[in-house]
Amino acid sequence: MLENTLLDELHEECGVFGVFGCHGAAEITYFGLHSLQHRGQEGAGIVACDNGSMKRIKGQGLVTEVFKEGSLDKLPGDMAIGHVRYSTAGGSSIENVQPFLFNHHTGPFALCHNGNLVNSNELKKFCEDRGSLFQSTSDSEILAHLIQKNYNDRTFIYSLKSALEMLDGAFAFLVMLGDKLIAARDKYGLRPLSIGKINGGYVVSSETCAFEVINAKFVRDVNPGEVVEISKDGIKSTYYSNMNKHHMCAMEYIYFSRPDSELEGRNVHAFRKASGKLLYKEMPTKADIVIGVPDSSLSAAIGYAEESKIPYEMGLIKNKYVGRTFIQPSQAMREKGVRMKLSAVSSIIKGKRVILIDDSIVRGTTSKRIVALLREAGAKEVHVRISSPQITNPCFYGVDISTYDELISARLDLEGVREYIGADSLYFLSKEALFEAAERNDLCLACFTGKYPTALYHAVKDANKDGKF
Ligand code: AMP
Ligand code: SF4
């Protein structure tokens, strides 16, 4: 993986983290968000709750940029929720940075989410027709307005559940009331959300890698369609939907999540390593060295090397210290960005037949540049092996591969892509191998197959700019 902040507009998703019943909840949330930083670098925010009163700090940039020394002291309380953002719906402006904080006549509440609704236009219109005015373009605000619309003097939970039932798409929501933390997951199970235990309290996180840092113990995943209420009475579980499926996003395993996270019981590194092994089994190729594109493809490269007995080499070195200052939108600057970010090690590569492992090809620009880098460094042959199938369809669930136009595999066949990236050979892992690596066969593979687990509403029109759908 090359960091999206440096390369182009490809987006990662967001991350959510919440704490209930722990002194210094904002600080714990800060560390939780820090370990979810890979899920979004555009903005971060924390709302903490102290005896029913809520305070918020949010801003644009990395967690360490938004929260300066001493700022967490301004967020007292034993309950907090936090968010790291990459804009998947809505723009990147500060109004869209979460969590959102609302006043309700029953008291304040805060909320944040990860994912993308497919019926947001319809729901916005529904709310606006009934008098709502939106301050942001984020899906989270839609939920807040729907809660309000569904209130009817019933309990907050009742209106939250009625509101959740109206949402279609992928999401993991955290809602904080004066006395409880609520976690909800979409009924298709597209986005991950896990519960942990810490010092007599609880934490909820997009990924379990955050638990390790704060010394929390994994309890369980939030189930698809489930609403988990965490209060001083413990954990209460109910469901807002009867239709509960398990269609975890395959890209969470392939690319987004951190290798040390467990996604519904399967470790991400173990998945990637298994996918690398299967990549060799499906298309055995003679070569001298195996190289992975840092960082997300290293596990798959290790698996490939182990299975093929071809030595794994550090042929590409990533400069970890290239910061956000280098975000440059122009094509010319992107080219430079890659060179700042990645170097090919000539002494390792020169004269060698190289297997280059990457986790995915979206636009094809990364592979094209890396193949060129390897050739310049003297590679004799470059065989590109991708540890996922060809991405031929847009994602409408929060992963910013949202138009056909930008997907090289939607436009070109295998040979066309190989020619474009300049590789000697190219192979993509099969869908069956993904299931084998994940040890399950119910993953969402819509961007590879075009079979979407939800209805699509307006999303199809948006993807259809070129009329190809
Ligand atoms: P591309 O250059 O457009 O083909 O992008 C492929 C590269 O981006 C691979 O190295 C992937 O690790 C990484 N990648 C895949 N999906 C995404 C995504 N949604 N956001 C950011 N990077 C991605
Ligand atoms: Fe993930 Fe692809 Fe499904 Fe989107 S379409 S949720 S990226 S598997």
* CA diameter of the chain: 74
E-assigned strand segments in 128-168: none
Q: Where in the chain is the domain with CATH 3.60.20.10?
A: 14-245
Output DSSP code: residue 223.
Answer: P
> Which residues partner with 353 through β-bridges?
381
Catalytic positions, written as ranges:
14
The answer to the question of whether 447 is labelled as a binding residue is: yes
Please tell me the residue having the least CA distance from ligand 1 atom 5: 362
Kindly list the distances between the CA atom of residue 220 and the CA atoms of 187, 207, 211, 223, in Å, as whole numbers in the listed order.
17, 11, 12, 9
pLDDT value for 453? 95
Answer CATH for 264-463 from 2.40.50.100, 3.40.50.2020, 1.20.120.1730, 3.80.30.20: 3.40.50.2020
Kindly report the backbone phi and psi dihedral angles of residue 227, in degrees, each rounded to the nearest multiple of 5, phi listed first: -115, 120
- Give the residue, out of 3, 10, 39, 338, with the most ligand 1 atoms within 8 A of its beta carbon, to mutate for a pocket test: 10
Ligand 2 binding site (Cβ under 6 Å of any ligand atom): 190, 249-251, 395, 397, 399, 444-447
Which atom number of ligand 1 is nearest to the Cα of residue 7?
Answer: 2
Token pair of 234 as six digits:
């413990």
Pair type for strands 381-386 and 234-239:
unpaired
Which atom number of ligand 2 is nearest to the Cα of residue 446?
Answer: 5
Kindly report the backbone phi and psi dihedral angles of residue 312, in degrees, each rounded to the nearest multiple of 5, phi listed first: -85, 130
The answer to the question of whether 444 is labelled as a binding residue is: yes
In angstroms, the CA 409 to CA 393 distance is 9
Which atom number of ligand 2 is nearest to the Cα of residue 393?
Answer: 5
User: Where is 69: in which H helix or E strand?
Assistant: none
Residue 4 C-alpha to ligand 1 middle, in angstroms? 7
Higher per-residue pLDDT: 199 or 75: 75
Per the CB < 8 A criterion, the answer to whether 283 and 272 are in contact is: no
Answer CATH for 14-245 from 3.60.20.10, 3.40.50.2300, 2.40.400.10, 3.40.50.300: 3.60.20.10
Per the CB < 8 A criterion, the answer to whether 234 and 155 are in contact is: no
The ligand placed nearest to the CA atom of residue 116 is: 2
Residue 409 C-alpha to ligand 1 middle, in angstroms? 13
Token pair of 96 as six digits:
């869209």
pLDDT value for 48? 98
The ligand placed nearest to the CA atom of residue 362 is: 1
pLDDT value for 391? 97
Per-residue pLDDT tens over the stretch 105-120:
788 999 999 999 999 9
Q: Where in the chain is the domain with CATH 3.40.50.2020?
A: 264-463
Per-residue pLDDT tens over the stretch 216-257:
999 999 999 999 999 999 999 999 998 889 999 999 999 999
Residue 404 C-alpha to ligand 1 middle, in angstroms? 15
- Give the residue, out of 188, 190, 249, with the most ligand 2 atoms within 8 A of its beta carbon, to mutate for a pocket test: 249
pLDDT interval class at 93 (50, 70, 90): confident
Higher per-residue pLDDT: 185 or 13: 185
> For the ranges 43-47, 249-253, 417-421, 453-457, which has the lowest average pLDDT?
453-457
